[in-house]
Chain A
């Protein structure tokens, strides 16, 4: 110990203090000081606070206590003892001990101060009062030792409210801290200052927050955002000023600040939705890089925002629900030939605006797109937030993506499961289909806690429908055998609900429940009785045996609710059991006095009903029962008896009512509707506390209803100057320092990528490393600043050049998304310029060809396109691959010199495509051809003009369904008579086919005059093989041997799959059924359109909508056997791509791969 003292070189007075402490605290053990003991092992601060208690305990003489502890220090051992003792504290020596602590705090030795502070913090942790130490503690606020300082802060924040005047002593320290050159010190000073809840310093706080909000360091700005709600809760009158600060911080472009400021927004002014407009797109784009807690807050806020700003994407669906008439006109108009007529019709419809085809706002799409990746977050709260966003905002067809993520959360901690299941239960009521594939994930495990089991049961019940009810019921049977009785009861009720909802199984369920009546467990029986009662009410006539059976149960069953249910049933349906009912009443009358109240009431009911129907047998019994009830202890029962007597027993006094007694008692009662308790809970925002409690919690912001018509979307447009004119050095630097970590890849792989996406993605990976380097914290601020100043100059120069050249370059480089070095980009753009010019031309070509192909679409469809294309022009400038083109567009369309730069619009054109796809997917009316970009059909020669002696025949695969036989491929033949004489009696003969193949000949062409042409369609069933069909083509004079050999791509027809279905099918076609090839895409074929076009030309497949823009998916079915054919083209950097074909028929798969490879590489 002495060496230890030497080491520490304690001043004499310190040792004295120690000694006094010891003498008071530890009696004779003077050689062990509380300060110096911790050399042995961990300090037991927790228990060290109350040595008086310890002594108390020690004198109690408990010996061993914490003997096993490794440290062996006396103090710790006692600490453990104290824990064992339970730690109820009596502070009779408290002032004394606090004096010691004060002395320690007053010493000039940091170690002593630290020791004292630790003890004090431990006291706070235990909830003991340490407020009288305030003056002693607050003196140390400027202590050099960082840990002492931090602990003083902890103390200060805890007690400042109680000791306002003294707390003011510390303020100057923090004010000094706010001016510190180190950002972290500034931040922590602001943090503590704002945490001190003393009203007097409100102006100081306000000033500090305002100053910090424009601090250079984003970390300080983040702290400022955190301070806002603190100040607001202290003094709500500052609201207006705080809103100004919030507005300023909302405009901040760093991920660090975004989450915190939205949190402040939510606490201070959630109603000021207008503040979000200008920042909406930025928030969406930053979202993926914000820290996870901020993500939750932002997503929840944006959900509300979107509800006020966008139109309901499911408006068509709700129209459909509304009524048949309305939607009919809507769809008819799609195919309407006559425009005038259509107009008339539409005029008839009153709410014209409503009927407008829905087009999703690109901003709405942006939100959905940018939140989707967060479903993969490890943080359950983020996943839930995205799920609720999709549930409340996404078109019906897209909501499904959240199911998988939610099911994943079910493997997390039970508390997480609890919350998720509550939300799933609500979702399953509205969108049952979404969770049906995951039915088995909701099966109950014997290890689940009861509350989880019951929620899972709820979900299973909601998911039950005609197709899966048998599996669910089988599961339920197992549950009935469980030992957890609450759960068994819930299961029986669930069976009851399934039975009411699904008519087909009602009888099965009823039988099952009746069997349960013979169960040995009374609870099971009782619960069954209650449920059976409800079921029987739906169709009583059929089930008099069951009622009889239940009547017998009254002898044994004791659970009051069940007895009451049986009695009610017998009374209600007494005419079905005319013999038994009076007998039951007799028995009940006997035991009346011993029954529970609810049973007594039902006995009176039964008696009354029997009296009315069968007064001869039951008159006396009824009177007996009523007399018994008259003297019952319960006044409800006495009242009921009096009431009923007056009603049913006609006396001279009783008035008109008794005439209606029969009507009153034997009225037809409506069958109960067994509803889920989660019905209609979705008017609360999902995932919220209010939803969970099914009651509005304080501070809950209502989820607004969709607006009738969308507010002006232009409010979200951000002025260009704000983006481009970040000439101030500070802003520029921000951009450097806080490059979003991943946003770069986000931006590069934006959905509209097509022609020149490859070089960009190449640089994307580069830029990741760049951002990492620049972002590495080792870079001190100063060095960055210096390096930046150089860069700035360069950039300024360059900008001048750029302005001369192209506006769009600048825009691209200034766009928030791109975290690339400006210089690099410049170089690259220059390089690409030549390429992209030609490529973008192509792009437009392919687009136009697509729109041509969509001529088949209805007028309305085209209109839609036009409507969407109106807001399109401003979007174009941002798209990298359309730079050149857009420049032209700008000149043409934009009178204003400042083009609107909206990073959002990057997604527009693509979202248009997906929107249309989405629409046509949901509208079965539209023909499939509108989606698959049909291309010019390839003609094959069947008979050459020369061999045919003037008759030439070409054929093509028209890709139409061959109506006489669905298993046949339609072959369209085009006959041209080039000869001078007519050709007659064109027909087919002598068909030679491989086994299984069939041919449906075209009708004989009687006459083909010279110089004329005609077409005919024949059907060939190729049996999913590429074997040729050989036959003779006969005219009235000649016979020609011809053969039709189909390319493999024509042996299929498109089918429609959703993305999920596709994935599901694909996962079933693995292994042997999957063929993949790597390829290098043809230079002209590196955009999505080109790929889609080439693939669909080569094979009769249809495009499957796909979330990823790097993948094109196609699906089809072979014509004869209907085996699925799935093709995927996944593009990578530099034109590399992978082609995957999944098909049960390996031969077809292999051949298709060959064909597609050829199509894509040439």
Chain B
């Protein structure tokens, strides 16, 4: 299984190493650096690299490469999934998972890694168990520790590991019992030049923040569960119940967790909440190009479209863009040729637009790449698929919890791609 772990930062320094079996020399990472050099983009480093004696499996998160060293056959996804789990745990503990945060908390990091793997095989990966073993550092706790001489390491033993519900610790107490559920949906769409949708899918997640005393047993039911085409659950959800009744029944972990992620069946038409009118032209022979972009809301059920951010990769031939936004601000990076326009909120009465000219390299021919336009947006209080939570019930405890449900729609990797000419017709 996992032999060693190296953390490599963006500039190619190994800033942390941990070995679970005998020590592997850090020179093994040279193979990784070679691959890193070959890759044009940081994300193009192959996740699995074969070296004469070892295999390197790496993930890139927060500009840090987590490189695991493997010596024999193991499912690559096993390692990748584990590494992501490590990153998630760090993020959970330190708020951010940056090089600085890891360096500042190097001892906690080491203690965590020690608990998460035993001889290279995952041991405790539930954040709830880990938090019982090693308390997350807070300023207050560090203060107290220094004064009283107590430590970050939990005094109690990790009873959670023995439990049948390993994700929940016992003896949870709150004065305000609350359960919040956020239904967040992302639209992923590819739209062609003429504005017709090539693919569009909705992926959603239900993130929960449950702060309830004792051992509550919750059930969550939907008005229209059939919308959910494909789901994956937190291990706490009782699968059989879902299969039979389409009800989510679970004993929740304490705190924040992702209850469910789902995919809305592609048969249902996806309403794209915005439309784009565009006119991007380059004239042959002239060193000028026109850029004209207008956004408008569409099918938003009266909800405001917020935090709109448009970005477009312009062809390499473009030297500069001189544009005039009707609202928001735009930037154009002449090196990467990336145009970003921070639109903000769309006002249906006065549609935001970005107009102006682009200057091209003199003498260069008309660029033939097609600029793609990416749109990010947010709509509060609406799940675009129409998914509605019907009710939330609690069993097993006597108090009445406060329940809250929030809906939100976001754009995922929403891409509008524009074809300039057809080849095969």
Chains A and B belong together in one complex: yes
Interface residues of A (CB under 8 A from B): 7-8, 38-39, 41-47, 76, 79-80, 83, 86-87, 110-111, 114, 118, 121-122, 124-127, 145-148, 150-151, 153-154, 158, 161, 182-185, 191, 194-195, 197, 217-219, 223, 226-227, 229-230, 233, 256, 260, 263, 288, 291-293, 296, 300, 373, 376-381, 383-385, 404-405, 407-408, 411, 413-416, 418-420, 440-441, 443, 445-447, 449-451, 473-475, 477-478, 480-483, 508-509, 511-512, 515-516, 519-521, 687-690, 692-693, 695, 697-701, 738-742, 745-746, 749, 768-769, 771-773, 775-778, 1064, 1067-1068, 1070, 1108, 1110, 1130, 1132
Contact of B409 with A by CB under 8 A: no
- Shortest distance in angstroms between B167's beta carbon and chain A's nearest beta carbon? 10
Contact of B240 with A by CB under 8 A: yes
Say yes or no: A772-B151 contact (C-beta < 8 A), given A446-B417, A483-B313, A777-B159. Answer: no
Determine which of B15, B146, B234, B238 lies in contact with A742 in the assembled complex, contact meaning CB atoms within 8 Å.
Answer: B238
Query: In the bound complex, do residue B119 and residue A230 qualify as a contact, i.e. CB atoms below 8 Å apart?
Result: yes
Chain A contacts for B55, CB-based, 8 A: 689, 693, 697
In the complex, 23 of the A-B residue pairs with CB atoms within 8 angstroms, ordered by the A residue number, are A45-B106, A45-B107, A83-B99, A83-B100, A83-B103, A121-B107, A148-B151, A218-B162, A219-B161, A226-B123, A291-B166, A379-B81, A413-B84, A415-B80, A440-B198, A447-B413, A477-B424, A478-B192, A693-B50, A697-B73, A768-B238, A778-B171, A1108-B243
Query: In the bound complex, do residue A698 and residue B72 qualify as a contact, i.e. CB atoms below 8 Å apart?
Result: yes
Contact of B217 with A by CB under 8 A: yes
Query: In the bound complex, do residue A692 and residue B76 qualify as a contact, i.e. CB atoms below 8 Å apart?
Result: yes
Q: Measured between alpha carbons, how far is A443 from B189 in the docked complex, in Å? A: 10
Contact of B261 with A by CB under 8 A: yes
- Shortest distance in angstroms between A715's beta carbon and chain B's nearest beta carbon? 27
Q: Measured between alpha carbons, how far is A407 from B201 in the docked complex, in Å? A: 12
Query: In the bound complex, do residue B151 and residue A145 qualify as a contact, i.e. CB atoms below 8 Å apart?
Result: yes
Interface 1/0 per residue, B138-155 and A, CB below 8 Å:
010011001101011101
Give me 11 other A-B pairs in contact (C-beta within 8 A), A693-B50, A742-B239 excluded: A43-B142, A127-B17, A293-B125, A416-B77, A416-B81, A416-B84, A450-B40, A483-B316, A520-B368, A742-B238, A776-B165
Determine which of A80, A87, A689, A1068 lies in contact with B74 in the assembled complex, contact meaning CB atoms within 8 Å.
Answer: A689
Q: Closest residue of chain A to B158, judged by CB?
A: A184
Query: In the bound complex, do residue B163 and residue A775 qualify as a contact, i.e. CB atoms below 8 Å apart?
Result: yes
Contact of B405 with A by CB under 8 A: no
Chain A contacts for B194, CB-based, 8 A: none
Query: In the bound complex, do residue B74 and residue A776 qualify as a contact, i.e. CB atoms below 8 Å apart?
Result: no
Query: In the bound complex, do residue A380 and residue B22 qualify as a contact, i.e. CB atoms below 8 Å apart?
Result: no
Query: In the bound complex, do residue B23 and residue A158 qualify as a contact, i.e. CB atoms below 8 Å apart?
Result: yes
Q: Closest residue of chain A to B231, judged by CB?
A: A376
Chain B contacts for A45, CB-based, 8 A: 106-107
Interface residues of B (CB under 8 A from A): 1, 13-19, 21-23, 26, 40-41, 43-44, 46-48, 50, 55, 58-61, 70-78, 80-82, 84, 99-100, 103-107, 109-111, 114, 118-119, 121-123, 125, 137, 139, 142-143, 146-147, 149, 151-153, 155, 157-166, 169-171, 188, 190, 192, 198-199, 201, 203, 215, 217, 226, 229-235, 238-241, 243-245, 251, 258, 261, 263, 265-268, 313, 315-316, 365, 368-370, 372, 374, 395-396, 413, 415, 417, 419-420, 422-424
Q: Measured between alpha carbons, how far is A114 from B81 in the docked complex, in Å? A: 33
- Shortest distance in angstroms between B142's beta carbon and chain A's nearest beta carbon? 6
Chain B contacts for A86, CB-based, 8 A: 13
Q: Measured between alpha carbons, how far is A912 from B215 in the docked complex, in Å? A: 41
Q: Measured between alpha carbons, how far is A769 from B395 in the docked complex, in Å? A: 9
Query: In the bound complex, do residue A1067 and residue B215 qualify as a contact, i.e. CB atoms below 8 Å apart?
Result: no
Determine which of B105, B229, B251 lies in contact with A1067 in the assembled complex, contact meaning CB atoms within 8 Å.
Answer: B229
Q: Which of B110, B143, B230 has the most CB of A within 10 A?
A: B110
Determine which of A161, A226, A699 lies in contact with B121 in the assembled complex, contact meaning CB atoms within 8 Å.
Answer: A226
Query: In the bound complex, do residue B164 and residue A739 qualify as a contact, i.e. CB atoms below 8 Å apart?
Result: yes
Q: Measured between alpha carbons, how far is A377 from B78 in the docked complex, in Å? A: 13
Query: In the bound complex, do residue A738 and residue B164 qualify as a contact, i.e. CB atoms below 8 Å apart?
Result: yes
Determine which of B50, B125, B163, B233 lies in contact with A776 in the assembled complex, contact meaning CB atoms within 8 Å.
Answer: B163
Chain B contacts for A740, CB-based, 8 A: 164
Q: Measured between alpha carbons, how far is A441 from B189 in the docked complex, in Å? A: 10
Query: In the bound complex, do residue B48 and residue A692 qualify as a contact, i.e. CB atoms below 8 Å apart?
Result: yes
The 9 A-B residue pairs with the shortest CB-CB distance, nearest first, are A699-B72, A775-B164, A147-B151, A184-B157, A46-B103, A147-B153, A777-B159, A700-B73, A440-B199
Say yes or no: A450-B114 contact (C-beta < 8 A), given A114-B151, A445-B190, A483-B313. Answer: no
Chain A contacts for B192, CB-based, 8 A: 478
Query: In the bound complex, do residue B47 and residue A419 qualify as a contact, i.e. CB atoms below 8 Å apart?
Result: yes
Chain A contacts for B164, CB-based, 8 A: 738-741, 771-772, 775
Q: Closest residue of chain B to A145, judged by CB?
A: B151
- Shortest distance in angstroms between B97's beta carbon and chain A's nearest beta carbon? 14
- Shortest distance in angstroms between A209's beta carbon and chain B's nearest beta carbon? 13
Determine which of A39, A230, A293, A516 lies in contact with B78 in the assembled complex, contact meaning CB atoms within 8 Å.
Answer: A293
Determine which of A39, A293, A478 lies in contact with B370 in the assembled complex, contact meaning CB atoms within 8 Å.
Answer: A478
Chain B contacts for A1108, CB-based, 8 A: 243-244
Say yes or no: A772-B48 contact (C-beta < 8 A), given A746-B240, A1067-B267, A1068-B267. Answer: no
Chain B contacts for A701, CB-based, 8 A: 73
Q: Measured between alpha carbons, how far is A625 from B372 in the docked complex, in Å? A: 49
Q: Measured between alpha carbons, how far is A450 from B158 in the docked complex, in Å? A: 44
Say yes or no: A127-B14 contact (C-beta < 8 A), given A191-B118, A742-B239, A1132-B245. Answer: yes
Q: Closest residue of chain B to A39, judged by CB?
A: B146
- Shortest distance in angstroms between A176's beta carbon and chain B's nearest beta carbon? 17
- Shortest distance in angstroms between A735's beta carbon and chain B's nearest beta carbon? 12
Q: Closest residue of chain B to A270, judged by CB?
A: B73
Say yes or no: A47-B81 contact (C-beta < 8 A), given A483-B315, A777-B162. Answer: no
Chain B contacts for A775, CB-based, 8 A: 163-165
Q: Which of B47, B70, B165, B226 has the most CB of A within 10 A?
A: B47
Q: Closest residue of chain B to A219, judged by CB?
A: B162
Determine which of B73, B203, B215 lies in contact with A698 in the assembled complex, contact meaning CB atoms within 8 Å.
Answer: B73
Query: In the bound complex, do residue A480 and residue B142 qualify as a contact, i.e. CB atoms below 8 Å apart?
Result: no
Q: Measured between alpha carbons, how far is A42 from B1 in the docked complex, in Å? A: 34
Say yes or no: A450-B21 contact (C-beta < 8 A), given A126-B15, A483-B313. Answer: no
Chain A contacts for B369, CB-based, 8 A: 481-483
Q: Which of B60, B75, B109, B158 has the most CB of A within 10 A?
A: B75
Query: In the bound complex, do residue B153 and residue A146 qualify as a contact, i.e. CB atoms below 8 Å apart?
Result: yes
Query: In the bound complex, do residue A381 and residue B73 qualify as a contact, i.e. CB atoms below 8 Å apart?
Result: no
Q: Closest residue of chain B to A1065, judged by CB?
A: B267
Query: In the bound complex, do residue B41 and residue A449 qualify as a contact, i.e. CB atoms below 8 Å apart?
Result: yes
Q: Closest residue of chain A to B242, judged by CB?
A: A376
Chain A contacts for B23, CB-based, 8 A: 158, 161
Chain B contacts for A150, CB-based, 8 A: 111, 114, 153
- Shortest distance in angstroms between B133's beta carbon and chain A's nearest beta carbon? 9
Q: Closest residue of chain B to A438, judged by CB?
A: B266
Query: In the bound complex, do residue B226 and residue A376 qualify as a contact, i.e. CB atoms below 8 Å apart?
Result: no
Query: In the bound complex, do residue B424 and residue A474 qualify as a contact, i.e. CB atoms below 8 Å apart?
Result: yes
- Shortest distance in angstroms between B418's beta carbon and chain A's nearest beta carbon? 9
Chain B contacts for A111, CB-based, 8 A: 146, 149
Query: In the bound complex, do residue A741 and residue B165 qualify as a contact, i.e. CB atoms below 8 Å apart?
Result: yes
Q: Measured between alpha carbons, how far is A478 from B370 in the docked complex, in Å? A: 8
Chain A contacts for B234, CB-based, 8 A: 378
Chain A contacts for B158, CB-based, 8 A: 184
Q: Closest residue of chain B to A515, judged by CB?
A: B423
Query: In the bound complex, do residue B243 and residue A445 qualify as a contact, i.e. CB atoms below 8 Å apart?
Result: no
Chain B contacts for A407, CB-based, 8 A: 230
Chain A contacts for B422, CB-based, 8 A: 474, 477
Determine which of A148, A185, A226, A777 lies in contact with B118 in the assembled complex, contact meaning CB atoms within 8 Å.
Answer: A226
Query: In the bound complex, do residue A445 and residue B413 qualify as a contact, i.e. CB atoms below 8 Å apart?
Result: yes
- Shortest distance in angstroms between A910's beta carbon and chain B's nearest beta carbon? 16
Say yes or no: A182-B157 contact (C-beta < 8 A), given A478-B417, A772-B165. Answer: yes
Q: Closest residue of chain B to A154, judged by CB?
A: B114
- Shortest distance in angstroms between B208's beta carbon and chain A's nearest beta carbon? 13
Q: Measured between alpha carbons, how far is A739 from B165 in the docked complex, in Å? A: 11
Q: Closest residue of chain B to A35, judged by CB?
A: B146
Q: Which of B15, B40, B77, B234 has the most CB of A within 10 A?
A: B77
- Shortest distance in angstroms between B399's beta carbon and chain A's nearest beta carbon? 17
